[in-house]
Chains A and B, each alone.
Chain A
């Protein structure tokens, strides 16, 4: 390839042609030969060896992802074949008695809890990012950023613990009765206030997703060049008006940050499992216990009684995997796109 590139910049047409022919001939001679040539040319075995060694590890990372997809797929074949599309649309999850595997309640629970979490976390997270990147005085910005990152570092099981003993009792005794009194006819606030349920899960998730959205949005906002701000200030804009312009410029990147938060929310396991109540029902009420894909796996994987059950659980993991991969790929493309644009 190197030969080819050098000849590209050559002015002399005839020489280029010769070089191209030379290149093609060498390509035909095969890889082993070119490797030897490289060895002779560099005269340093260590260099070639080192590059190959690091390449090997990079290949390992590549293979790891492929292997993961393959393992999930091959282990869930039994349920993919036996249950088919019913797996995704079936509303009954009764794996032990009737052996019915409908994952819709879990998929619904995952999507709804993540959506509600984003509803809370996105406006908050972006405001925090605005505060950190646009407004905060220097002495406040560093400790605040540090605290936000600390928030992201707390293990999810500790959030779950806090959820069980602090958030759930508070919801059950204060928030849920209050909501029921205020909105007696709303379909979202029906049923007995257990505390455990969709509302608790959504709140815990929003707390966990917030620091991610905040810190990525902050980076995105910072990557907007300051000339944009200066231009707006020069026109007499107020601080908030400047911020609006910056936000408009960073739209795609902010969307990416939200998507990354969504990816985290969808895959979050422990904290949600501990507070959502774990009941495979589809209900409009935020008070009723629900289930998510990740919590089905956490609760039932070690208790799977049959091969089909196990296959169904792994298939559930595969569905979760695919959803998060799609969301993450979209998010990365968005964030990368913005960062490249300003570079």
Chain B
């Protein structure tokens, strides 16, 4: 059989060039991907600074062009909403995740795993509609509770799947050691396995909470929004994200600027959440050691 010989040098250089070109393309696209992040952060910080003062954290919103207004109700509202969401979503997520990891070698667990993955892909606005039909309609009114439930539904899949993955990372020898000491299985799971996985689970919880704090769509027709001070969970409640949406759409310059400030505060809030969680999980570990 005759093998056709191509000019070696040409092929060599062609391959070399393709190599360099394609690798540079890949590098450039990595930079292009980071660009929007830098741009969004730059504008949020640059434009958000205008109204970032003590009033923003202590005063209620004022009418257009009345200076000195803030968004204290929205900041507290967002915290209340993710509080309700967390109170409902975290236990469901952690226990369901524990089931999947510890007892999940059957067909039902497979289905639950699958459904929770599906649930994580459901558009948040659809979750808003479901919370509306389930809570707002029977209770005859928009409420913080409805918003919190919508956020809980959004958190559940994230927390469930992270918990499962994290528990699965705990080596079997830990469980065996617990059982060998005569500790019942449930105690082993709760006190040894879950504790070992707690850092990873906390990360999942944090991810869920952070995602919930940034949600707008499911709040539009559940928590609605409120221009006044309210901490009643059966009343409509303000949130930073809904304020950003409404102020951004408004034709008034001062409200537009406040939307940027609200965005900055929201980003700070989400980062703080992450810092606090990291701190908690770290100190826990120090105590143990």
Contact = CB atoms under 8 A, between A and B. Distances in A.
Interface in B238-289: 241, 244-245, 248-249, 256, 259-260, 263, 266-267, 270
Q: Is the interface of A mostly helix, strand, loop or mixed?
A: helix
A210 interface: yes
B25 to A, nearest CB: 6
B29 A50 contact: no
Contacts of A238: 15-16, 18-19
A319 to B, nearest CB: 10
B126 A54 contact: no
Interface stretch (B61-69, B182-190, B227-235): B182-190
Contacts, number: 253
B10 interface: no
A298 B217 contact: yes
A199 to B, nearest CB: 16
Given A54-B102, A153-B210, A325-B122, A46 B216 contact: no
A151 interface: yes
B109 A58 contact: yes
A64 B153 contact: yes
B39 A166 contact: yes
A298 B220 contact: yes
A148 interface: yes
A52 B178 CA distance: 21
Interface string B153-186: 1001100100000000000000000000000111
Interface in A311-343: 313-314, 317, 320-321, 324-325, 327-329, 331-332
B21 to A, nearest CB: 8
A49 interface: yes
B248 A160 contact: yes
Given A58-B108, A64-B153, A211 B126 contact: no
A85 interface: no
A161 B96 contact: no
A124 B29 contact: yes
A58 B111 CA distance: 10
Given A75-B133, A214-B33, A157 B26 contact: no
A10 interface: no
Contacts of B153: 64, 68
- Residue among A157, A264, A328 having the largest count of chain B Cβ atoms under 10 Å: A157
B29 A123 contact: yes
Interface in A38-61: 44, 46-47, 49-51, 53-61
Contacts of B192: none
Given A263-B121, A324-B123, A240 B270 contact: no
A267 B124 contact: yes
B238 to A, nearest CB: 14
A53 B99 CA distance: 9
Given A165-B47, A274-B248, A327 B92 contact: no
Contact of A124 (B18, B33, B40, B43): B33
Given A154-B40, A161-B263, A314-B129, A62 B220 contact: no
A301 B109 contact: no
Contacts of A130: 26
A143 B213 CA distance: 24
Nearest to B225: A302
Give the top 4 A-B pairs by smallest Cβ distance, nearest first: A267-B123, A155-B214, A50-B186, A328-B121
19 contacts: A51-B99, A54-B95, A58-B109, A61-B156, A67-B134, A71-B134, A72-B130, A158-B40, A158-B214, A238-B16, A267-B121, A269-B217, A270-B241, A270-B245, A298-B217, A301-B220, A301-B221, A302-B220, A329-B114
